[in-house]
Structure 1
Amino acid sequence: MNRKHLLAEYEKLVQLADELSRQLAACREIIEVVIGGVYHSRVKWHQKTISEVISAVVDIQYSLELELRLIEAQKAFLARLIDRNNDIH
């Protein structure tokens, strides 16, 4: 792979990581809204429904976090390749 290709791949990973970070923030916000709504009696859902919603969002959040960690590892690997490629030229 040449440096230009590696940099393009790295940029794709950066954009994907940014999108995952936004999705993770949305998950945290959903959980906070549900919990805050329950605490302030704005949410009148059955306890089981609340638990299921929070559990589903947490499952999504964990999946996104795992994907983000894998992308961060790929970014680190590509960064090393780019640095090595740069040292050669």
Structure 2
Amino acid sequence: MGALPGVPEQPERWSGTLTSGQVLLVGTDGFGDPLGDGDVRVGALFAEHLAEPPSPLRLAHLPGFSGEAFDGDRTPLAPWPRDAAR
């Protein structure tokens, strides 16, 4: 997958059902690159703060972590199953 605003020829696809306690994180490369495979401090931060749906303001604040090697647009989208939504 390339950086925005590029459009890949074959976008990645996912199909499945989210159940209670799960969230699907979709984000720009400014969010995804520092997240990596989730085994880093950024992954722990998001796992802790996205265990349940945060307020919209809190969700907007979360990508504001600092990191010298990571810059650019940080836009996450996090849909939860309906029973988990506030």
- What TM-score comes out, normalization by structure 1 length? 0.23
Structure 1 or 2: larger strand share? 2
Greater relative contact order structure (CA < 8 Å, 6+ sep): 1
Q: Which has the larger radius of gyration?
A: 1
Structure 1 or 2: larger helix share? 1
